[in-house]
Amino acid sequence: MGLVVEIVLPLGLAFIMFSLGLGLRASDFLRVIREPYAFFIGAVNQVLLLPVVTFLMVLAFGIGPELAVGFMILAFCPGGVTSNILARLARGDVALSVSLTAVISLASMITVPPLLALSIGYFSGEAAGPVDIGGIAVQLFLLTTVPILIGLTLHHLAPDLTGRIEPVVAQVANLLFALIVVVALAANWDVFVANLPVLAPALICLIVVLLALGYGVARLAGLPDGQVKTISVETGIQNSTLGITVAAMLSGYEAGFSPYALPAAVYGILMYVVSAPVILWFRRLGPAEVSAA
């Protein structure tokens, strides 16, 4: 188990972020400037509303300190490759989805560590040790920012090669994601079983509320259907692999998978189950308007 946590987990996350970078182009970042309003609405939902709603949900369900921190870790994580795939399946604005995922993923090395420290202090109080904000920021930079930039650079320098390897890389990334989720659950099986009566309803409720919140805010903002669907998906679907890895950073890789990782691991399964009917409904609303590349 120690080998999985210390080696497979960080390398798995780096590979998944590399696969995200392979699908990026410079235009995905320039789109933030060309279409700032839709990006702003999506970013506010992810960076501000999502953690607030998660915090209130944790309080409402009376989640214990360690699992509460795990919920907040998940809330601080951006969307990932999964949100891009689901946005495409929903016939949403995939370009907007990719832009939100890319920019907020790159920003996570700055946003996640201090928010994590605040959560630990609130839920664990004096029992919590000091959080190494700088150390976590450096690890996030190495495991998320650097792989994304490598993938982006490779796409720019060798687009033909990227086109050939991207499907294979995506499949391997999916397998790594499944492995990480299964191992995290297995390592915390007793805690999982003991807390399942609260954990599962809280996560299901959280996903439903976030999907609805994303949809409602984007609709009230007057965005077109494609962007409304995308912002709903980006608000409700987070990068659970990053959440599990941040949990390992917090507890120390040598400690194995801690209960901090459990909400993200369970969420990694439930997000597909809960979002499936929403995605099917979105598809019936029709195709998205095509954004300029």
**How many domains does the chain contain in total?**
1
Confidence (pTM): 0.86
Least confident stretch, 159-168, 206-215, 281-290: 281-290
Structural domain for 216, as ranges: 2-279
Q: How confident is the model at residue 144 (pLDDT cuts 50, 70, 90)?
A: confident
Of the candidates 278, 258, 290, the residue with the CA atom closest to the CA atom of residue 211: 278
More confident residue, 276 or 288: 276
Taking residues 152-179, report their average pLDDT: 88
**Is the pLDDT confidence value at 278 over 90?**
yes
> HSE (CB half, 13 Å, CA atoms) of 62?
3
Residue 293 in any domain: the answer is no
Higher-pLDDT residue of 206 and 254 is 206
Does residue 65 form part of some domain? yes
Residue 142 lies in a domain: yes
Higher pLDDT, 4 or 117: 117
Q: What is the mean pLDDT of the chain?
A: 86
Decide if 291 is inside a domain. Answer: no
Q: What is the rounded CA–CA span in Å between residue 92 and residue 28?
A: 15
* Separation between Cα atoms, residue 232 and residue 92, nearest integer Å: 10
Residue 290 gets the label, from left (phi > 0), alpha (psi -120 to 50) or beta, of beta
Q: Which residue has the higher pLDDT, 153 or 178?
A: 153
Asked if the model's pLDDT at residue 286 lies above 80, the reply is no
CATH number at residue 234: 1.20.1530.20
Tokens linked to 28: 């995905």
In a domain, 290, yes or no: no
The predicted structure's pLDDT at residue 208: 96
Cα separation, 178 vs 170, whole angstroms: 12
Percent pLDDT > 70 in the chain is 92
Question: Residues 95-116: pLDDT tens digits?
Answer: 888 889 888 988 888 889 899 8
> What type of residue is 40?
F
Residue 247 has which token pair?
């949990």
pLDDT computed for residue 292 by the predictor: 45
Query: For residue 284, is it within any domain?
Result: no
pLDDT band at 289 (very low <50, low <70, confident <90, very high): low
Task: Let me know if residue 161 belongs to a domain.
Answer: yes
Residue 96 resides in a domain:
yes
